[in-house]
Structure 1
Amino acid sequence: MTKNVTTNKDYVPRDISWMYFNRRILQEAERKDIPLLERLSFLGIYSNNLDEFFRVRVALLNRIAECNDKETRDERHEAVQTLKVINKLNAHYAKEYEQAIRQVEDGLRQEHICMVNDTELDDEQRKYIQQYYYQKLDGFIAPVWLSAVKDLSTAPDDSIYLAVKMRKKSDKTHPEYAMLQLPVNLVGRFVQLPDKDGNAYIMYIDDVVRCALPLIFAGLNYSVFEAYAFKFTKDAEMEIDNDLRTGLMQKISKGVKSRKKGQALRVIYDASMPRDVLKRVLGKLNIDKLDTILAAGRYQNHRDLMSFPDCGRKDLKYPKWTSVLKQELMGEGSLLAAVRQRDRYIHVPYHDFASYIRLLQEAAVHKEVKSIETTLYRLARESKVVKALINAAQNGKQVTVVIELLARFDEASNINWSKKMQEVGINVIFGVEGLKVHSKITHIGMRKGADICVVSTGNFHEGNARCYTDYMLMTANRNIVRDVAQVFDFIKQPYLPAKYKELLVSPNEMRNRFVKLINDEIKNHNTGKPAYIRIKINHITDPVMVKKLYEASANGVKIDLVVRGNCSLVTGIAGKSDNIRIVGIIDRYLEHARIFQFCAAGEDKMFIGSADWMPRNLNSRIEVVTPVYDPAIKDDLKRVIDYALRDNQQGRVVDGTGRNLPWHTGDETAPFRSQEALYEHYRDMEAEEAAQ
């Protein structure tokens, strides 16, 4: 059990809270009631998340901790303390992780899927691996003598490396040391050997290369080889401007002299690596006392477990859920006309993202459409969204695309698509200086009749729409459409005064509008009117919003929160947070929709949008949250929150301690899984409509 290691009893720092969240993913991998191959996938997600966390968040903390400016003393002390807690939790969770890996591998072996290493092969399998090397690997592996390596600052940190110690059989005192990068990006991480005696056999590419070391170093007369895996995570130098006030950012940039771009800040290595090998590896990475050095198992970079071969065993994975096509949004009728008739919605991936693609495709060829404006944050490799926009430009529409070049780790893809769009005459706007454009909005301007718009909680991205739960409102509501058009005007001419009648927009008035909604609930409760707050969101770390929720709770307002990730609130504080309940849900889909419900004395004001309650979302990003007025859509949004709060299968208690205890609803005899229930609800709705 993990103790609450935060220094403030009523506020959990963002990065410690993130560690608690990622542990919830690890706990899914430890559950024996989840299919084995899905447990492997959760282990891969956990590992991938941790890599990104160290590249960005821990890198930022390191820079703050190393800053020698006197005015940043408080921030420096806080960063040092947070790093100590992160390293402590990381070491503790690493032990859980290694145990979970072993448990899953044991389970797979019982299902006749055997992970074998280089010491466990029979003669026939060794011959197969030798042939595999010549056919697939030869020429892709380039060993480098460690004595020739100055440092590893230019080496990619998304790879696995083997440190190799070799010697001649007759010479035990003069070993040689080399390192090599595994060609995972070219051949994959796993090699499936021929089945034998009813068993499937899988090898890590690490072990395939270990088998091939005599071939790789052929002609050098070495006969004894040892190889130990290691990986490192480098400072990605991102998000400073999103997380620190400008003055502090500048001081840190000037004050940090030792931290260089790309410097390693975390090293994970095979615990069996001899001291002489480890010393040489660490010496090439310039590790300092604040960095993380972690002894682990034989294999690193477990993110590849997300693509583990299924060996034809579909029974060891979740049953496939086919996205539902909404009848009202498909067929030969005009989707533009349908949205003008009344508000429409899709909830991906339960509903098929094709409905949004169809809207764009119709707009691209419709003669009455004069313009399309949209924001794009992340783009699929083969984006149908972009292809529809290019088609619109080719048909003479005025197309404006706001593309965020600083979408973390997707910069190259976004730049590539930007060039293609510019080539066909699309007006591409690269965000707003000083403000990351994170809103998810589309505006379609018509020559006659009402314009329409789309406001989404997530990216217009086909890939994300298959695994992220996001809500998308399509509306012709005049005030909402006008406000969306004003957001685009603001992006085109930033910092001009803008007032919004319906939308909550940051960095303008979003925080103030949310504060007013909370204050209204406090007032209603104190005057005897119905009052409650229910929110489904990804992250809550903004100190102002945390304080307001505590205030509402202290005044008796019941607050139910569904928080996927970072959460700085601590529940159960008598007189302060004892009216707050928080559940976090990890399941087959990534919970991503932001939904806000305020009782409003029984009126139930509902909102959806792109913003979490973090300082970056409310201060330094252009975010959009829209009210929802259609009664049927409001009911559906309430259902989404209701189901989440009933989830006694995938729900975990988020209370600020990191224990992540199972969520209890009072009726544990009736298992309820929110994502499954939502899928069945939407499927049955469409089946009923099709039958009419």
Structure 2
Amino acid sequence: MNKKKTIPSIDRDLSWMYFNRRILSEAMKPNVPLLERLSFLGIYSNNLDEFFRVRMATLSRIVEYEDRSLRLEREHAKLLIKQIHQLNSKYSIEYESAIKEVTSRLREENIYLLNENELDVEQQIFVRNFFRRQLSGFVSPIWLSAVKQLTEATDENIYLAIKMQVKKNSEEDEKKKTAHIRVRRPEYALIELPVSTCGRFVRLPDRSKGGSSLMYLDDIIRFCLPMIFSGMDYNHFDAYAFKFTKDAEMEIDNDLRNGRLQKISKAVKSRKRGDALRVIYDTKMPRDLLSRIMKRLNLDKSDTVQKGGRYHNHKDLMSFPDCGRKDLKYPAWVPILKPELKRDESLLKLIQKQDRYIHVPYHSFDYYIRVLQEAAVSKEVRSIKTTLYRLAKESKVVKALICAALNGKKVTVVIELLARFDEASNINWSKKMQDAGIQVLFGLEGVKVHSKITHISMKRGGDIACISTGNFHEGNASMYTDYLLMTAKLSIVRDVNSVFDFIEKPYLSQRFKELLVSPNEMKKRFLSLISDEIRNKKAGLPAYIHVKVNHVTDDAIIEKLYEASKAGVPVELLVRGNCTLLTGISGLSDTIRINGIIDRYLEHARIFIFAAGGENKTFIGSADWMRRNLDNRVEVITPVYDPLIKENLQKVFDFGFRDTCQGCVVDGTGENRPWTREDGNTLPFRSQEELYNDYKLKE
């Protein structure tokens, strides 16, 4: 438990470890389709890499920052690192077991992952030809003796540490060779696997009908080592995989109290940015080779050194070839076209008449794309403003905006250059948009623009606004569950436009009538809404709090939820990720229940529903209940007024809270017990499947 906090709670990083284990649990379920289990293993691995790059990096640097005034923070960080290492070791054993079990199941399904010693003659010829034609130009060995520090290398990929020797095959061979071959010491080299250009998995010629043979790129390289080092007089090669994770960013918003923020911030420039803080290596790597690798990684005692298996970077399992085996994946759910998309009516006019919504990926994201495309060519449109946080590789959103600019519309785009791990992509898109005549704004100094809003100015019929819970990103819209409201309600549309004014001219005071906007008054408004439920409960009026978010870690919000629970207000939460709130504490959180859902889609929509004495106040938007969202980012939450949309949002929440197939109890213990319904109904219920079927009936 975090001693710095005055309320009962657990640390957000421990909560995150519990959440990631729920993903691992999906990979261990026999009833999950086999190739989907591989994908969950990849997601778990990728999440863990990002966690070490950011959160563990922060903790490590706090420990290293020697200042007496930060003694308590340093001690807490040390304890937390120890707890995380313990959980990571425990979960790693489960992970390796899951990998072995899934690989074994693949063989039962006639999908074979072959290593370099399992190839038949035809496959050996194929691998050699593949190397010559497609791979050799991307493989560049480096002598380990020439490498001073590995921290200059990228941690996005996997490395093979090579040990090459001259081995004596027999006494007779030795006699023949001693005359002209001098005994040589082993040599050591490094090869970075070119996964980004060649992929991680290579399809091989199949051995039998109905079977599929594949090979890790790692093993392709292993097989071809004699070709790579031809002419070097070595006759024996061993290759061992290792990977390391580097410090990507120091996140200080939630780690240190406000009064000490500036002091630690000054250390950021001089800290060891980019140093390795975790290494995973093949447990079979010989000691002489391992010691040479470790010397070049600059690790210290707070960093993680972990034994692993033969293969690393299992994030690549997310793109494992399906080998044509659709039966080993979830049944396809084709995105549903809403009735409005099937007609030739103007979508802009339809929105002006009545509020509209889409719930992706159940509904097609094309609804929003069509709104932009129509706005780009419509003579009724004056201008378009939008915020962009992450963008698809071939973004239809950006193409529509460029089209609008070329057609003479005034287009303004606020793009967040500090979207973690998407910085380079966003910079590239910014240049393309500027070249097309789009006004590109880069947000506010020191504050991320995380809101998902669009404003379309019309000559007649009323302006239009779109407020989303997730990015305007076609790729995300096929994997993340997000909700997007499109409205012409004047008070909301004016507020959305004011948000853009606030971003462009932050020195001007802005007041928002309808929207909850951070870092202005969003937290204050949320606390007020919870307080209203407490008063209504005491007055005998309808009172409840139904919230669906990704994370709940803000102390003020948690304290207010405890207060609501003590007053008897039913608090029902759907929380996918971090949750530092503790349930089941007598007299404090008796009425709080939290369900965490992991399923085929990533739960991402943020929905807030308050009984409001029977009035039912409903909101959606981009913010989680985290300090960074409420205090340090530009976020937007909008009220929802249309009765049909409010009814649908309540159904989305209710379905999630009934989910006994994919739900887990989130209570701060990390046990991740299966979710059960309080009404005693034991029939299995899977919310995502039920929602899709419900939407399908209305298509």
Q: TM-score range by the shorter chain?
A: over 0.9
Which deviates further from its counterpart, 125-134 or 557-566? 125-134
- Matched residue, 2:198: 187
- Matched residue, 1:682: 695
The 1:517–1:241 alpha-carbon spacing in structure 2 relative to 1, beyond 3 Å, is closer
The 1:172–1:47 alpha-carbon spacing in structure 2 relative to 1, beyond 3 Å, is farther
SS of the residue corresponding to residue 535 of structure 1 reads: strand
- Matched residue, 2:94: 96
The 1:419–1:274 alpha-carbon spacing in structure 2 relative to 1, beyond 3 Å, is same
Deviation for aligned residue 1:260? 1.9
SS of the residue corresponding to residue 139 of structure 1 reads: helix
Separation in 1, partners of 2:680, 2:286: 54
Alignment of 1:162-311 (within 5 A): 162-170=160-168, 174-198=185-209, 199-240=211-252, 248-255=260-267, 259-311=271-323
- Count the aligned residue pairs: 683
Separation in 1, partners of 2:567, 2:669: 24
Which deviates further from its counterpart, 663-672 or 303-312? 663-672
Letter in 2 for 1:450: G
> TM-score, normalising length from structure 1?
0.96
Deviation for aligned residue 1:329? 4.1
SS of the residue corresponding to residue 421 of structure 2 reads: coil
- Matched residue, 1:689: none
Deviation for aligned residue 1:330? 4.2
Report Cα offsets for 1:253-296 as digits up to 9, x if no partner.
54579842211000000111111111110111001000010001
Separation in 1, partners of 2:505, 2:435: 23
Deviation for aligned residue 1:185? 1.1
- Matched residue, 1:24: 22
The 1:101–1:123 alpha-carbon spacing in structure 2 relative to 1, beyond 3 Å, is same
Deviation for aligned residue 1:245? 6.0
- For the aligned residues, what is the CA RMSD? 1.8
Unaligned runs of 5+ in 2: 169-181
Letter in 2 for 1:31: K
- Matched residue, 1:156: 154
- Candidates 71, 74, 78, aligned match of 2:72: 74
SS of the residue corresponding to residue 196 of structure 1 reads: coil
- Matched residue, 2:53: 55
Deviation for aligned residue 1:343? 0.6
Separation in 2, partners of 1:94, 1:670: 33
SS of the residue corresponding to residue 454 of structure 2 reads: strand
1:376 to 2:388 alignment: yes
Deviation for aligned residue 1:241? 5.7
Unaligned runs of 5+ in 1: 687-692
Deviation for aligned residue 1:670? 2.1
SS of the residue corresponding to residue 442 of structure 1 reads: strand
- Candidates 452, 458, 462, aligned match of 1:450: 462
Which deviates further from its counterpart, 292-301 or 236-245? 236-245
- Matched residue, 2:178: none
Deviation for aligned residue 1:246? 6.5
Q: Is the 8 A contact 1:650 1:673 kept in 2?
A: yes
The 1:247–1:154 alpha-carbon spacing in structure 2 relative to 1, beyond 3 Å, is farther
The 1:313–1:546 alpha-carbon spacing in structure 2 relative to 1, beyond 3 Å, is same
SS of the residue corresponding to residue 290 of structure 2 reads: helix
Q: Is the 8 A contact 1:63 1:252 kept in 2?
A: no
Separation in 2, partners of 1:331, 1:679: 22
1:575 to 2:587 alignment: yes
SS of the residue corresponding to residue 496 of structure 2 reads: helix
Which deviates further from its counterpart, 364-373 or 328-337? 328-337
Separation in 2, partners of 1:619, 1:667: 40
- Candidates 464, 477, 488, aligned match of 2:476: 464
Report Cα offsets for 1:164-209 as digits up to 9, x if no partner.
1111114888211111111111111111221113432221111111
- Matched residue, 2:140: 142
Separation in 2, partners of 1:256, 1:172: 51
Report Cα offsets for 1:550-593 as digits up to 9, x if no partner.
11111111111000100001110001111111011111111000
Letter in 2 for 1:196: R
Report Cα offsets for 1:191-229 as digits up to 9, x if no partner.
122111343222111111111111111111111111110
1:35 to 2:33 alignment: yes
Q: Is the 8 A contact 2:122 2:205 kept in 1?
A: no
Letter in 1 for 2:201: F
Deviation for aligned residue 1:135? 2.1
Q: Is the 8 A contact 2:676 2:682 kept in 1?
A: no
Deviation for aligned residue 1:608? 0.2
Letter in 2 for 1:638: Q
Report Cα offsets for 1:144-163 as digits up to 9, x if no partner.
11111010121010110011
Q: Is the 8 A contact 2:341 2:367 kept in 1?
A: yes
Letter in 1 for 2:540: G
Report Cα offsets for 1:24-59 as digits up to 9, x if no partner.
100000000000000000000111111111111111
Separation in 2, partners of 1:117, 1:367: 61
Q: Is the 8 A contact 1:230 1:269 kept in 2?
A: yes
Q: Is the 8 A contact 1:541 1:614 kept in 2?
A: yes
The 1:237–1:122 alpha-carbon spacing in structure 2 relative to 1, beyond 3 Å, is same
Q: Is the 8 A contact 1:529 1:601 kept in 2?
A: yes
Separation in 2, partners of 1:176, 1:412: 37
Separation in 2, partners of 1:214, 1:6: 57
Letter in 2 for 1:106: S
- Candidates 544, 554, 559, aligned match of 2:571: 559
- Matched residue, 1:531: 543
- Matched residue, 2:528: 516
Separation in 2, partners of 1:215, 1:418: 44
Letter in 1 for 2:416: E
- Matched residue, 1:385: 397
Deviation for aligned residue 1:128? 2.5
Letter in 1 for 2:193: L
